[in-house]
Amino acid sequence: MKLIGLTGGVGMGKSTAASFLLSQGVCLIDTDELARHLVQRGQPALAEIVSAFGSALLTASSELDRVALAQIVFADAAARRKLEAILHPRIRAGWQAQVEAWRQENCPLAVVVIPLLFETLAESAFDKIVCVACLPASQTERLAGRGWNPEQIRQRIASQMPIEQKITRSHLVIWSEGTLEAHRQQVGRILSRL
């Protein structure tokens, strides 16, 4: 099995690339989805987060208030490291277990979407790393489209490795400027190379 890591900056088109890969039948897991599962009601990670950051982060229905948590961790690097210490080992265990299952199923090509692939020192696990990137202006516009204010955008971008470094450390790059069809064609060309 060939294992690919898909990374890139926040708002640069990783999810779009992942959807194109899934439509081609590629085995794929997104670590953002794993993270969302880990913080659901009743999960041990949620209990640890509440213990570390306080019960004010729970909604009336005992769900995690993700917006409130984001406000804390993206404004304070120490708080972000504390959250990452709770989540990252669990996320890594989750995608590694899925990769092992794919190996048992003889999946020919598998992709793990990891926004913080280099930041979490996961690159040695992959045969190839693909980075999805775009211009900073496009990234800002896309993040503003999510309803984030300029300070939230600045904090999210600052919390990740600069995209230039991710591009340099990757084997292949998907440039997500332009049309969705151009994005889809790039994904197709990369698939044919892999």
- CATH number, domain 2-193, options 3.30.160.60, 3.30.420.40, 3.40.50.300, 3.40.640.10: 3.40.50.300
Q: What is the pLDDT of residue 33?
A: 94
Amino acid residing at 70 = A
A 10 A CB-CB count for 24 gives 12
Whether the CB-CB separation of 10 and 139 falls below 8 Å is answered with: yes
C-alpha dist (Å) from residue 12 to 16, 38, 130, 183, 192: 9, 24, 13, 11, 22
Report which secondary-structure segment, H or E, holds 110.
strand 109-113
The angle, 0 to 180 degrees and rounded to 10, between the axes of the packed helices 14-23 and 180-193 is 60
pLDDT at 86: 96
Per-residue pLDDT tens, the chain, 194 aa: give them.
Answer: 999 999 999 999 999 999 999 998 999 999 999 999 999 998 999 999 999 999 888 988 989 999 899 989 988 999 999 999 999 999 999 999 999 999 999 999 999 999 999 999 999 999 999 999 999 999 999 999 999 999 989 998 988 999 999 999 999 999 999 888 888 888 888 888 87
Cα separations in angstroms, 167 against 27, 77, 129: 23, 24, 10
Specify the pLDDT at position 186: 86
Q: Take residue 97 and report the two structure tokens written for it.
A: 């277990």
pTM of the entire predicted model? 0.90
Q: What is the pLDDT of residue 3?
A: 96
